[in-house]
Amino acid sequence: MSVGVLAGKVALVTGAGSGIGRATCRLLARDGAKVIAVDRNLKAAQETVQELGSERSAALEVDVSSAQSVQSSVAEALKKFQQAPTIVVNSAGITRDGYLLKMPERDYDDVYGVNLKGTFLVTQAYAKAMIEQKLENGTIVNLSSIVAKMNNVGQANYAATKAGVISFTEVASKEFGKFGIRVNCILPGYIDTPMVAVVPDSVKQQVVQRCPLGRLGQPEEIAEVIAFLASPQSSYVNGAAIEVTGGLK
């Protein structure tokens, strides 16, 4: 993307303390946006901010699965740069893999709470703020996953939430279009982040063999597409679900 294309914009990124979220903060700041780095892990979000500099970024501790936490973050976020964010990236996400017959209810609920309900809570709260402040050209980018289509054994909870994110994104794009807010999602393949670090090597090898590019992706390769969707250069892209997988299906 181009340096300066997001000048004057404020972006809010969840899951900003690690992996794709952190890389996204880096690239949105590179393109000129001021960035609010949101994470349940405040220390990790602060590390992201330290890298970007406190003039152009701020950290917020938010648990996206809690309506109260998300709601109270809105006023705090507005205070950071005296402006509601018009770029929102829902990157917070977790896995709790396990076979269905042994999956504890808690693991299902936790994954649902962060990946799908969290995306709903953040989208609703910050879209409301944009609409109330009559801010135009809002853009929301959600993180689905290619697992929504691969439907891997042992990932019923994760796959269901990531498929849900695609439907959620499409509905939101239809409801928010009239407010000038675009909503899109990305389906990353296997990206070299702490989330994938816990995947057994044997599984990663299989993925690499099946991937036409023959390697895992880097977080920046997802963040570049997010930066595009956040920018006016994607002004007619709305309700899209974009695979960024190196060709892995």
Active site residues: 158
> Which is closer to ligand NAD, CB of 7 or CB of 153?
153
Asked if residue 169 binds ligand NAD (CB under 6 A), the reply is no
> How long, in residues, is the chain?
249
Give the phi and the psi of residue 58 in degrees, each rounded to 5: -150, 150
CB of 188 to ligand NAD, least distance (A): 4
- Site stretch for ligand NAD (CB under 6 A), options 81-89, 90-98, 100-108, 124-132: 90-98
Interacting stretch for ligand NAD, rule CB under 6 A, among 27-35, 169-177, 189-197, 234-242?
Answer: 189-197
Token pair of 239, please?
Answer: 């309700």
**Is residue 143 within the footprint of ligand NAD (CB under 6 A)?**
yes
Applying CB under 6 A, which of residues 86, 91, 157, 231 lies at the interface with ligand NAD? 91
> What is the Cα–Cα distance from 146 to 181, expressed in whole angstroms?
25
Please say whether the beta carbons of 144 and 186 come within 8 A.
Answer: yes
What is the pattern of x (binds ligand NAD, CB under 6 A) and - over residues 7-36? -------xx-xxxxx---------------
Q: Does 116 bind ligand NAD (CB under 6 A)?
A: no
Q: Which two tokens stand for residue 117?
A: 């309900």
From 185, 170, 166, 198, select the one nearest 234 (Cα to Cα). Answer: 185
User: By CB under 6 A, what part of segment 34-53 binds ligand NAD?
Assistant: 39-41, 44
Answer for which of 25, 35, 36, 65 binds ligand NAD (CB under 6 A) is: 65
Nearest to 173 by CA among 118, 229, 101, 215: 229
Smallest separation, CB 94 to ligand NAD (Å): 5
Q: Cβ distance 132 to 175 under 8 Å?
A: no
In the block, tokens 């880097």 appear at: 218
Give me the phi and psi of 197, to 5 degrees please.
-60, -25
In whole angstroms, the minimum distance from the beta carbon of 37 to ligand NAD comes to 10
Q: For residue 200, which phi and psi values (nearest 5 degrees)?
A: -55, 145
Within 13 A of 176's CA, how many CA atoms are on the CB side?
Answer: 31
Nearer to ligand NAD, 31 or 39 (CB): 39
Which residues in the chain belong to E strands, given as ranges? 10-14, 34-39, 57-61, 87-90, 138-143, 181-188, 241-244
Binding of ligand NAD by 164 (CB under 6 A): no
Judged by CB under 6 A, does residue 57 bind ligand NAD? Answer: no
Q: Which tokens go with 51?
A: 């890298």
Please, which residue, 17 or 138, has the CB nearer to ligand NAD? 17
- The answer to whether residue 92 forms part of the interface with ligand NAD (CB under 6 A) is yes
Closest to ligand NAD by CB, 70 or 135: 70
Binding residues (CB under 6 A) for ligand NAD: these are 14-15, 17-21, 39-41, 44, 62-65, 91-94, 114, 118, 143, 145, 188, 190-191, 193-196
